[in-house]
Amino acid sequence: MARSFSLADCEVIGFDLDHTLCRYNLVETARLIYESFAQYMVTQKGYDKELLNVSPESWDFCCKGLVLDMEDGNFLKLAEDGTVLRASHGTKHMSSEDILETYGRKEWRHFKTMSGMVSRSAKYYAYDNYFDLPGALLCARIVDILNQRSPRQKYDFWKDVIAAIQYNYKTSAFKENCGTYFPEVKRNPEKYIQCCPELVKKWLRRLKDSGKILLLITSSHSDYCRLLCEHILGNDFAELFDIVITNALKPGFFSQTPNQRPFRTLENDEEQEAILSLDKPGWYSQGNATQLYELLKKMTGKLEPKIVYFGDSMHSDIFSANHYSNWETVLILEELREDQAMVRTKMESEPLEKKGKYERHHPKPLHSVSKQWGSFFVDTISGAEDKKEILVNTWSCKCVKTYSTITIPSIEAIADLPLNYRFTRFSSDSCITAGYYPKPPRSLLSSGEQVPTK
């Protein structure tokens, strides 16, 4: 495999929408998502009203890469070999002694299943995107509250969490003004959604003008997709994309067959009957990568068109597009931006005299480093005899290198580059920092990894 990657070599360029093309105001969105779940749990499932009150400091708990061990109520941060680096019971930090007693120094019991990216499990849940993270805080606080009533060995609240998700995000919720999330975003989109930078809009037009086929593949339903795209790109957004696929239900879009997941046409944002084949560009719902690829072969006139897909979820976007469809993948990882201190937050950039006296109580953005969980990329373990700490890579860090072609903090980071710019890609024979652009995480560099020379 070539050591470099260029968009110029790709005939087709696809994008996820949420947290990829559309970036959110993470603090406000996290509050809203948490509230949408908590309201349901309290009013419909009878959970303690204490769930509704969240202190600003609580948001430090949220960290991508955590895994909930459902039965035990424990949250885990895993090393690349599957051992437990850090853990909490609910929100309560577990000491090294607690971890050793509970999990030992061996591979976590569900690691083999999880490392195969099994899409659903009744035993654990992996948190890998910003829509998920408020749910992690909610689940941890549920464990805390249940323990206050009566300490227990096993927990069965997950079915209620699933019910809350289904209620707030079902495909009809936007149209019906159902739940907490969609009605609030519709009322106040500018509070939650960032407009797409002009630089990125020009970049998309440049891709289109250069003859690239542009795809938008999102698991959001068509009505919510339309709201987001009109807000971030303008009312003429559809002109940018040759094919728009909504309610794609990733990762199933990549992993399931045409019979399991046929395409459907849309009429007034309502799904119509399934269609047997995908014959022309347009706006569709559900579907599968197999039939899409057949259409792309016709559109490009190539037997094996080269496709790259941009997304933010390791499980739904990056692993699935890479593993099932052999597409090139670009992971959007805002933690990379935070690690490099590339972009200052609004509060950091304000003059001192304008900062509020309650600044220290401002909730942390979800992409910033958690004090409780540490770096997304690395962590330390104690040595066996001399007690020296050893720096190890996390399971999340290993996934980045294994399944993404390159990883960037945002599309904006590459939008001013020439289309034929050659990135150094991740590969099995390259160092772990190779595919990060514009710079590798500082935490990885401090672990002794070297940046390859081109």
Across 423-440, average pLDDT: 91
Separation of alpha carbons 255 and 375, rounded Å: 31
227-231, 232-236, 316-320, 379-383: segment of lowest average pLDDT? 379-383
- Indicate the pLDDT class of residue 352, thresholds 50, 70 and 90: very low
Higher-scoring residue by pLDDT: 452, 272: 272
- Model pLDDT for residues 80-95, shown as the tens digit of each residue: 999 999 999 999 999 9
| Region for 90 from its dihedrals, namely left if φ exceeds 0, alpha if ψ lies in -120 to 50, beta otherwise | left
* Bridge partners, residue 379, by sequence: 392
Torsion over CA of 139, 145, 148 and 151, rounded to 10 degrees?
-30
Nearest to 126, CA basis, from 78, 90, 80, 79? 78
Higher-scoring residue by pLDDT: 64, 342: 64
- Indicate the pLDDT class of residue 98, thresholds 50, 70 and 90: very high
Q: Return the ∠ at Cα 432 (arms to 66 and 78), rounded to 5°.
A: 20
Residue 429 is predicted with a pLDDT of: 80
70-79, 267-276, 337-346: segment of lowest average pLDDT? 337-346
pLDDT at 431 over 80: yes
From-to residues of CATH 3.40.50.1000 in the chain: 1-23+193-343+360-448
Among 18, 144, 242, 317, the active-site one is 18
Structure token digits, residue 424: 């150094």
Residue 122 is predicted with a pLDDT of: 83
- Indicate the pLDDT class of residue 357, thresholds 50, 70 and 90: very low
**Which runs of consecutive H residues, i.e. helices, occur in 326-430?**
334-340, 346-349, 395-403
pTM of the model: 0.92
Residue 54 is predicted with a pLDDT of: 94
CA atoms within 13 A on the CB side of 58: 21
Tell me how crowded residue 411 is: count the other CB atoms within 10 A of its CB.
20
360 in Cβ contact with 434 (< 8 Å)? no
Structure token digits, residue 97: 């002694």
Among 9, 16, 269, 279, the active-site one is 16
Residue 454 is predicted with a pLDDT of: 39
Residue 50 is predicted with a pLDDT of: 96
| Region for 242 from its dihedrals, namely left if φ exceeds 0, alpha if ψ lies in -120 to 50, beta otherwise | alpha
pLDDT at 254 over 70: yes
95 in Cβ contact with 399 (< 8 Å)? no
Across 341-359, average pLDDT: 38
pLDDT at 259 over 50: yes
Q: Is position 16 annotated as part of the catalytic site?
A: yes
Strands (E), 172-306: 213-217, 243-246, 263-267, 270-275, 282-286
Residue 214 is predicted with a pLDDT of: 98
37 in Cβ contact with 134 (< 8 Å)? yes
* Bridge partners, residue 374, by sequence: 370
Nearest to 128, CA basis, from 395, 312, 369? 312
pLDDT at 363 over 80: no
Across 98-125, average pLDDT: 87
- Phi then psi dihedrals of residue 161, to 5 deg: -65, -45
Q: Using the structure block, give the residue that is written with the tokens 């957004």.
A: 237
Q: Is position 156 annotated as part of the catalytic site?
A: no
- Residues near 304 by Cβ (< 8 Å), separated by ≥ 6? 297
- Model pLDDT for residues 289-345, shown as the tens digit of each residue: 999 999 999 999 999 999 999 999 999 999 999 999 999 999 999 999 876 543 333
CATH of span 1-23+193-343+360-448: 3.40.50.1000
pLDDT at 1 over 70: no
The single-letter code of the amino acid at 437 is: Y
| Region for 301 from its dihedrals, namely left if φ exceeds 0, alpha if ψ lies in -120 to 50, beta otherwise | left
Please, what is the average pLDDT of the chain?
90
Residue 448 is predicted with a pLDDT of: 56
pLDDT at 450 over 70: no
- Model pLDDT for residues 163-208, shown as the tens digit of each residue: 999 999 988 999 999 999 999 999 999 999 999 999 999 999 999 9
- Indicate the pLDDT class of residue 449, thresholds 50, 70 and 90: low
